A and B are shown apart, each in its own frame.
Chain A
């Protein structure tokens, strides 16, 4: 086990460097640049070739791409994430300010996602082909089909039309006004969780149905164990491997959801930061953002892999 974790951790820097090359190259394939945005500001008479050359030199874009990359990755590994080209704000400062907001959103998303997904899946399996099973299946498919940006817009519009209510703005920090903060965050978290929970519920249901047909479950029932004990202690544990994989993936889907809900609900987190930076071709921010979350995603997957051994002792790490 230790050797496995050690080897995986040793591979991490290599993976991150490969990821950084991929990210750096990919972003440079995107047409347009912050220079175009500045020069094409819409006001008359502000652009010429000399201006462009000066701005390119100013941002270091006049150097060969591999030189730009080495300079950038060297700064990142020395802890200097650089500054935004557009706002000149320190990127690390921005991460420090925005990361807790997104982490809170992700935690709330998980708090809703896991019980809702597993709970509905297990309940649906246990009540197979009954009215509540059909109802849950209908709802889960509905939430799978509905895009979360549409749902987010709907939860703003419907309360407004019915009760003249709009979500409180501006955003307040959890430690400043916990109650207002939770009111602001719970709905976006629920929206970010719903589609994932629907997937989790579907998978949990099919896994649970398979497990419930196993001999050892029948044996447990024949021993006279209560339903609750059979399902939660014996059956559920053996459905967890695929579910843990899915829960690990929620980190990625949660970030994707955060990009959307943070934008719609004016939450100043990492997702919103990415959108703003992408729209303005603020390359340093986008590069660091993708690198940090890519590395975090690799780490989360490592944790998921390790957790397999906890849920199924038959799994050995070699």
Chain B
């Protein structure tokens, strides 16, 4: 029987290993672009950042192609299938006759009722704003920094960057902006606003290392960092970095901006047409949108969006199968059950599944200041005991074993082939050796079994918690499970009131997320881990430029974390999957959290659409 895991499923979902390598390459290009754009080079020759990105992109893509060729020899059958699929896709595109205008996107979302990108706490809060506002730069497919209202930045040195605003960007033709030009002053205001001392502004730490945003002329914004900070350009393009107008904030105030949909006036491709809370939001095309199609025509192709709010799981699937939706919501944690259901009921061709570049996963946080986890030998013993492939196979059915940095953060994240060689990640006979090592570590620690506190488990991860409990039992470590709701788990984690807690985790676009997770006193260092050596390496990682240099640092950090500290049990990462109708053309998954906040300006419907 063929092995059934996340990657084989992905292959069935039109993503071969070659495709995966390409995607990884693009992710690598994104990260490489970041580093290159971020650092310039030592001789400061003034080469435009975009050109450097392109150069690095070519190199990485060449490497990816070589790997793909090797893979092709090993896996000819899969490759043939892939080629057949590509041929079908090409034929479909030719048949569709190129991009077409028109059509209202039928899509489902969650209406949180917040309209301010600085306040919006997650992608589902009110997704309509993601189409109405726009980015200076944004993260495109593969976490690639991409030009939007501004060109890719020119790198002056490690601390200084120049963004050139495109001259044809205008605010929507609605009061009080009335279609005026988007300027560098607007960009400065937009970014500085995120950092204001408003407790509701959740992204303010993104730009703490920016000393100054400045508009040097009408269309030029300079960014000066207070110290070298490699992920800065990623932060500038992160999901949610949408620009709000000073005119509106000054006139109405922050509170009104976040609660009043009439003030949703941005530079995005869509304008808010109507909104009935918790029922439906209608967006219509912004006729003054600045981006043009390759043929010179105006974007976007869609007439607008009908966003239906709050469908229950069963109702959502039913609406998709019945032909009332263009998108299925994304599937979390790599589970493709809904997509399989849709295929089962409506046919294999009824839905196209596309992995989203934002990785989510499950991990077990350990509070290192609580007994018995103050002893790293106990933590390492548990790290050795976790049967990662087993948990995924028996309880998730999809996803990949996870290391400290998600594999999607290429090239920093370690993939399944690398991880599966390491203690704690191995299977079969080698796992027996890991279990034996775990028992030895546990014995050596001399912990008191009667004082082991319960492990809190997110109720969505109940099955995984039970497997973990059995894994720990395999080395003689008995721990009770305490199932908790999402809110309880978040509260316990946020307040550091846990000993061990199994919960979801989200990756980012840069390995610097480890700083926030594990640096002494960092915002998301819930388990209060502290190690001067790791701290120093994490600082070095965020202040070092160049992909190879940074990769070496993060490789060392990951190795030390897994070999010496185990401050967290990383065991799973997966890519959420977006499902859409085959008649949607030109879709590239951007790191938006839901389909409603994907960047879809260049998508269109072919004539096979029946909605």
Q: Which of A8-16, A260-268, A310-318 forms contacts with chain B?
A: A260-268
Q: Pick the residue among A38, A87, A171 that contacts B113 (CB under 8 A).
A: A87
List the B side residues contacting A94 at CB < 8 Å: 277
| Stretch with Cβ within 8 A of A (4 or more), from B73-81, B294-302, B316-324, B570-578 | B316-324
Instruction: Name the residue on B nearest A90 (C-beta).
Output: B259
Taking a contact as CB atoms under 8 Å apart, the answer to whether B490 and A169 are in contact is: no
Please name the residue on chain A nearest to B122 by beta carbon. Answer: A41
Which of B315, B490, B516 lies in contact with A40, CB distance below 8 A? B490
- When C-beta atoms are compared, the residue in chain A nearest to B495 turns out to be A36
Q: Is the CB of B112 within 8 A of A87?
A: yes
Give chain B's interface residue range (CB within 8 Å of chain A): 35 or more
Could you tell me if A33 and B491 are in contact, using CB atoms closer than 8 angstroms? yes
Q: A41-B122, A58-B199 are in contact. Are A47 and B524 (CB under 8 A)?
A: yes
The yes or no answer to A55 lying at the interface (CB within 8 A) is yes
Closest residue of chain B to A41 (Cβ to Cβ) is B121
Which residues in chain B, 292-314, are within 8 Å of chain A measured between CB atoms?
Answer: 306, 308-312, 314
- Tell me whether A160 is interfacial, beta carbon within 8 Å: yes
Bound-state Cα–Cα, A48 to B508, Å: 19
Q: Give the secondary structure class of A's interface.
A: loop
Query: Given the known A-B contacts A88-B258, A169-B315, are A43 and B202 also in contact in the complex, defined by CB atoms under 8 Å?
Result: yes
A residues with CB within 8 A of B: 30-33, 36-48, 51, 54-55, 57-58, 84, 86-89, 94, 97-98, 153, 156-157, 160-161, 164-167, 169-171, 263-266, 268, 272-273, 276, 279, 281
23 A-B pairs, CB-CB below 8 angstroms? Answer: A31-B488, A31-B492, A39-B202, A40-B490, A42-B506, A46-B204, A47-B524, A54-B199, A86-B112, A88-B113, A88-B258, A89-B113, A89-B277, A97-B277, A156-B314, A160-B318, A166-B319, A166-B321, A170-B280, A170-B306, A264-B314, A266-B311, A266-B315
Using Cβ atoms and an 8 Å threshold, which residues of chain A touch B550?
A: none
Pairwise interchain contact B202-A84, C-beta atoms closer than 8 A: no
What's the minimum C-beta distance from A42 to chain B, rounded to whole angstroms?
A: 4
A94 and B200 CA atoms in complex are apart in Å by: 22
Instruction: Flag if A89 contacts B318 (CB, 8 Å).
Output: no
Name the distance in Å between B327's Cβ and chain A's nearest Cβ: 14
Shortest Cβ distance from A28 into chain B, in angstroms?
A: 13
Q: A36–B203 contact, CB under 8 A?
A: no
Neighbouring B residues of A57 by C-beta, 8 Å: 199
Where the two chains meet, the residues of B that have a C-beta atom closer than 8 Å to any C-beta of A are 112-114, 121-122, 199-200, 202-206, 240, 255, 258-259, 276-280, 306, 308-312, 314-315, 318-319, 321-324, 345, 484-488, 490-495, 504, 506, 508, 512-513, 515-517, 522-524
Given contacts A32-B485, A37-B487, A47-B494, contact A164 B322 (CB under 8 A): yes
Roughly how many angstroms separate A31 CA and B280 CA in the complex, as a whole number?
A: 32
Could you say which of B112, B206, B312 contacts A264, with CB atoms under 8 Å apart?
Answer: B312
For the complex, give the distance between the alpha carbons of A257 and B539 in Å: 55
Question: Is A47's CB under 8 angstroms from B488's CB?
Answer: no
Residues of B within 8 A of A263 (CB): 312
- Closest beta carbon of chain A to B576's beta carbon, Å: 13
Cα distance, A41 to B123, chains bound together (Å): 10
Q: A54 vs B563: C-alpha distance in the bound complex, in angstroms?
A: 39
B130 to chain A, nearest CB (A): 15
Inter-chain contacts of A47 with B (CB < 8 A): 494, 523-524
- Who on chain B is nearest to A40 by CB? B490
Residue of chain B at shortest CB distance from A50: B199
Q: Return A277 CB to nearest CB of chain B, in Å.
A: 11
Question: Complex: how many Å from CA A45 to CA B235?
Answer: 12
Given contacts A43-B203, A169-B308, A169-B311, contact A156 B318 (CB under 8 A): yes
Cβ B493 vs Cβ A40 within 8 A:
yes
**Contact A38 B200, beta carbon cutoff 8 Å:** yes
Most A CB within 10 A of own CB, among B255, B491, B512: B491
Within the complex, what minimum Cβ distance (angstroms) separates B126 from chain A? 9
Among the listed A51, A89, A170, which residue makes an inter-chain contact with B309, where contact means beta carbons less than 8 Å apart?
A: A170
Q: In the bound complex, do residue B517 and residue A264 qualify as a contact, i.e. CB atoms below 8 Å apart? A: no
- B523 adjacent to A55 (CB under 8 Å): no
Residue in B121, B276, B311, B504 whose Cβ sees the most chain A Cβ within 10 Å:
B121
Question: Which residues of the partner chain B approach A58 to less than 8 Å between Cβ atoms?
Answer: 199-200
The answer for the CA separation of A55 and B200 in the assembled complex, in Å, is 7
Query: For residue A163, which residue of chain B has the nearest CB?
Result: B322
A263 to B316 CA separation, bound complex (whole angstroms): 12
Q: How far is the CA of A47 from the CA of B203 in the complex (A)?
A: 10
Q: Is the CB of B312 within 8 A of A165?
A: no
Instruction: Specify which chain B residues have a CB less than 8 angstroms from the CB of A37 in the assembled complex.
Output: 121, 487, 490
Q: A36-B491, A97-B277, A171-B279 in contact; A166/B345 too (CB < 8 A)? A: no
Contact B491 A31 (CB under 8 A): yes
Which residues of chain A are within 8 angstroms of B345 by Cβ–Cβ distance?
Answer: 160-161
Docked Cα-Cα span, A36 to B503, in Å, equals: 14
Q: Closest residue to A159 on the B side, CB-wise?
A: B318
Kindly state the separation between the CA atoms of A199 and B42 in the bound complex, as whole angstroms: 81
User: Cβ of A55 and Cβ of B199 under 8 Å apart?
Assistant: yes
**Residues of B with C-beta under 8 A to A51:** 199
**Structural contact, A36 and B490, CB atoms closer than 8 A:** yes
Please name the 3 residue pairs, one residue from A and one from B, whose CB atoms are nearest each other, closest first: A32-B487, A87-B113, A54-B199
Inter-chain contact B491/A157, CB cutoff 8 Å = no
Q: How far is the CB of B132 from chain A (nearest CB, A)?
A: 17
Contact (Cβ within 8 A) A164 B321: yes
> Is the Cβ of A31 less than 8 Å from the Cβ of B487?
yes
Q: Using Cβ atoms and an 8 Å threshold, which residues of chain A touch B112?
A: 86-87
Nearest-Cβ distance from residue B254 to partner chain A, whole angstroms: 11
Measured CB to CB, the nearest residue on chain B to A47 is B523
Inter-subunit contact B321/A160 (CB<8 Å): yes
A58 vs B258: C-alpha distance when bound (angstroms): 15
One of A39, A46, A88, A157 near B318 (C-beta < 8 A): A157
Which of A30, A89, A281 sits near B259, CB closer than 8 Å? A89
Please, which residues of chain B bring their CB within 8 A of the CB of A265? Answer: 312, 315
Q: How far is the CA of A185 from the CA of B112 in the complex (A)?
A: 24
A160–B316 Cα distance when bound, in Å, is 12
Which residues from B are CB-within-8-Å of A153?
Answer: 314
The residue from A42, A273, A281 contacting B122, defined by CB atoms under 8 A apart = A42
When the two chains form their complex, are residues A44 and B200 in contact, meaning their CB atoms are under 8 A apart?
A: no
Q: Which has the most chain A C-beta neighbours within 10 Å: B258, B485, B508, B524?
A: B524
Which residues on the B side are within 8 Å of A272 (C-beta)? 278, 310
Residues from chain A with a CB closer than 8 A to the CB of B508 are 43-44
Contact A165 B322 (CB under 8 A): yes
In the complex, besides A31-B484, A167-B315, 14 extra interface pairs with C-beta distance below 8 angstroms are A31-B487, A40-B490, A44-B205, A44-B512, A44-B513, A48-B523, A88-B114, A156-B314, A157-B314, A169-B324, A170-B280, A266-B310, A268-B277, A272-B278
